[in-house]
Amino acid sequence: MENFTNETIDTSQLPKFEEVSFTALQPKYLLVVLIGLLRIIALLVLVPIIVSIFKPEFFSGRVWLILGIVIPVFSIFLIVLSIIAFKKKGFAFREHDVLFRYGVIATNTIVIPYNRVQHVALHEGLISRYFGLAKIEIFTAGGSSSDIEIPGIEKEQAENIKQLLMGKIQKQL
Amino acid sequence: MGTDFSQPQRQSIVGIWVMFFYALQQYGRALWPIILIWAFKFDEINKVYLVVGMLLVFASIGVVSYLKYLNFTFFLDAENEEFIITEGVFNKTKTAIQLRKIQQVNINQSFIQKLIGVYELDVDTAGSNKKEGAIKAISHELALELKSRLLENDKLQRVVGTAETTLEETEQKLFEAAHPFIKISFLSLLKVGITSNYGKSIALLVIFFSTIYENFQNFGDESNIYKEKVGSYIDKNLVLQTILTSILLLFGVVLVVNVTRIVFKFYDYKITRQKGSMLLSFGLLNTKSTIIKPEKVQITTVTRNYFQKKMGILELKIKQATGGEKEERKSIIEIPGCSETERDSILRLLFHQIPERGQMLQPNYRKLIFSVVLSIGLPLLGFLGIGYWLEPIIFEYSYVVPFYVVVIGLIQYFKFKNNRLFIHKNFIIKQSGAWDVSNDIIEPSKIQAITTSQLFWHKKLNIGSIILHTAGGNIEFQLANYSIVKQQVNLWLYEIETSDSNWM
């Protein structure tokens, strides 16, 4: 009991989560995102072409014109959006918690203290694996809305981060 | 502790009947179309075959039930600290539940079990969605004894704990002795039935009247001459009277349905204290009983509306930590019709003190504007758009518009006015709702993760939103003073990270 103190906390002196500098995702990851997008865009372009081969009467000149405008605009919109989303994503590992920032219109920052982490997983997508990237998934008991997924990390670094987190969780127990 | 649970034992012998009826129910549910067809063709069927067939079915179900009874055993393995259930006639299943993983032991009674006079015992563990162990037929004394034995392990752990906790325990015991239990009277349940679920009732009324009105319109369109003729016969007062009586009738029906539902669900609601936990039991036909351990409670919600305030009742909802999302709805425990003193004693049991409201945060007025645009502006725009370009007929319903604007506007205004976040050192309370005003209470130590969020055009205005994630759900508060929010987040993080407080 002698060591027990209960001083007032000066809240302005606490470490500030909003001033943490975030680490950006690997630039290679942008390629992964764009390749993923390319598949969607290819689908958008291919479907009308295939339909027009089997049912040519379905498409008049006007429909082609509308499609010709809508598909490129939509594609560019998607690409710009994912580039912004990529740039805004960032993560930081502090001594006691992990932070992840994301969001295009709104800037969201999620913080999970290490002593609330339930388990950590490493996930490699097909395209990501080709580029040597991995995704770290951090789960809490708070349901899917409070889990963090950090994509676009070098495989080796991801392994290290996982080990670090596992160590932190073990220490809590 | 008279009974020896270390030897495998069977359920109550009358349990065969329970299994028999359950199996019958199951087959009945699976085969009801066939049974229905038979019932219609009753005359054509050879009666002898029918009787023989029925007897055979009953006999086989009976035999299966008996075999199930024979093969179902349970016992406590003291050595490995496990509760073991073996079941199955051909496919044997052995379920071993570690005692320290047991979260809850519920003693329930369904209608069939009530008829036969046995109880059901469910064992709930952490980290799984379904009920892991269930004994379908057991006498009440045995169930209580087994329950206390299953939860004994918990007590052991506590004794091992530090001196402080034992001090706390003795304090609690004194407290328990002083307040034996809470009983929710039939009158309170009636009050709850009358004053809750207005949303549903109003929606019903609206549907009712729109159909009546439509029929009236159709009727008018078809025969104008007829209408003129009849118009002279039917007194206008009479029409008004029938409409009024039908409104009253409908209200009456809604109220009666509501009251019966609540009485059936919550009849004879009793709360008992046991070793610092709350023991609830309620229900008219299906008696449910469950334990709430204060440390497992995540979000406590206190809800009341204007009428309930006048009558001095309120509703408590308790959300416990859940394994999976599917289970989320099930693990909400409702305590309807508490008085204020009862609420305080429950809260004191859960939090060891009555939650206080600390610093108050209000949302920015932009939240009101945003919700008005979303709930009034957009629908109006859609209405105009449809009327202008597609179906001009809907302008005939324009008289609904001012009504809609006023009602929704009022709801949004009160929602905004009631929306508050109170931050105290030990509690976070979020107040929300237009008519039913609810207060969600959490302790900062229950927070699992925190999300802060800000739209880029709100940076200069210094407003932003926060979501506190707990194992029982999220608490969200939008467009508050962002610097206060950030400061609080830092403080909460500090508190969570410097203590190894148990959130479950």
Contact B466, B476 (CB under 8 A): yes
Contact A102, B451 (CB under 8 A): no
A1 touches chain B (CB under 8 A): no
| Joined tokens for residue B336 | 């309807």
Specify the higher pLDDT residue, B42 or B115: B115
Q: Is residue B53 part of a domain?
A: yes
Say yes or no to pLDDT of B336 above 70: yes
Q: B229 and B135, same structural domain?
A: no
Q: How confident is the model at residue B140 (pLDDT cuts 50, 70, 90)?
A: confident
Q: Is residue B219 part of a domain?
A: yes
What is the domain extent for residue B238?
A: 193-264
What is the predicted pLDDT for the residue at B150? 79
CATH top-level class of A90-172: mainly beta
CB-side exposure of A136: number of CA atoms within 13 Å? 27
Which residues on chain B are in Cβ contact (under 8 Å) with A102?
none
Specify the higher pLDDT residue, B440 or A145: B440
Q: B149 and B22, same structural domain?
A: yes
> CA-based Rg of chain B, rounded to a whole angstrom?
29
Contact B492, B423 (CB under 8 A): no
Q: How confident is the model at residue B166 (pLDDT cuts 50, 70, 90)?
A: very low
User: If you average pLDDT over residues A31-39, what whole number do you get?
Assistant: 93
Mean pLDDT, chain A, rounded, equals 88
Q: B51 and B134, same structural domain?
A: yes
Torsion sign across C-alpha atoms B4, B7, B8, B10? negative
Q: List, in order, residues 6 or more apart from B120 with CB less than 8 Å away.
A: B107, B108, B109, B110, B113, B134, B135, B136, B137, B138
Q: From CA B359, how far away is CA B313, in angstroms rounded?
A: 27
Q: Is residue B380 part of a domain?
A: no
- Beta-bridge partners for B452: A109, B466
CB-side exposure of A128: number of CA atoms within 13 Å? 19
Q: Is residue B495 part of a domain?
A: no
Q: From CA A26, how far away is CA A154, in angstroms rounded?
A: 7
Say yes or no to pLDDT of B119 above 80: yes
Out of A153-162, B117-126, B155-164, B252-261, least confident range: B155-164
Q: B244 and B151, same structural domain?
A: no
Q: B131 and B34, same structural domain?
A: yes
Q: B153 and B19, same structural domain?
A: yes
A contact test, residue of B327, B370, B452 with most A CBs within 10 A: B452
Out of A16-25, B141-150, B444-453, least confident range: B141-150
Chain A residues 27-86 within an 8 A CB cutoff of chain B:
none
- What percent of chain B lies above the pLDDT cut of 70? 84
The CA-to-CA distance between both ends of chain B, in Å, stands at 29
Q: B150 and B212, same structural domain?
A: no
Q: B46 and B131, same structural domain?
A: yes
Length of chain B as a residue count: 504
Domain count along chain B: 2
CATH code, B68: 2.30.29.30
Where are the domains positioned within chain A?
Answer: 27-85, 90-172
Q: In this predicted complex, what is the ipTM?
A: 0.90
Q: Do the Cβ atoms of A142 and B471 come within 8 Å?
A: yes
User: If you average pLDDT over residues A135-154, what whole number do you get?
Assistant: 89
pLDDT digits (tens, 9 = 90+) for B243-288: 888 888 877 888 888 888 888 889 888 888 877 788 888 888 888 8
What is the predicted pLDDT for the residue at B161? 40
pLDDT digits (tens, 9 = 90+) for B434-454: 989 999 999 999 999 999 999
pLDDT digits (tens, 9 = 90+) for B186-240: 888 888 888 887 767 677 777 777 777 777 666 555 545 454 555 555 566 777 7
| Joined tokens for residue B352 | 């060891």
- Beta-bridge partners for A121: A137
- Mutual orientation of helices A27-54 and A61-88 as an angle, nearest 10°? 170
Specify the higher pLDDT residue, B342 or B180: B342
A103: left (phi over 0), alpha (psi -120 to 50) or beta: left
Say yes or no to pLDDT of B172 above 70: no
Q: B88 and B19, same structural domain?
A: yes
Specify the higher pLDDT residue, B479 or B391: B479
Between the CA of residue B229 and those of B217, B223, B243, B424, B487, what are the distances in Å? 17, 10, 21, 71, 75
Say yes or no to pLDDT of A107 above 90: yes
| 3 state SS of B377 | helix
Q: B230 and B136, same structural domain?
A: no
Contact A133, A29 (CB under 8 A): yes
- Closest Cα of chain B to A75: distance in Å? 24
Q: B197 and B99, same structural domain?
A: no
This model's pTM is above 0.90 = no
Size of interface A-B (CB pairs under 8 A): 95
What is the predicted pLDDT for the residue at B193? 86
| Joined tokens for residue A52 | 């027009």
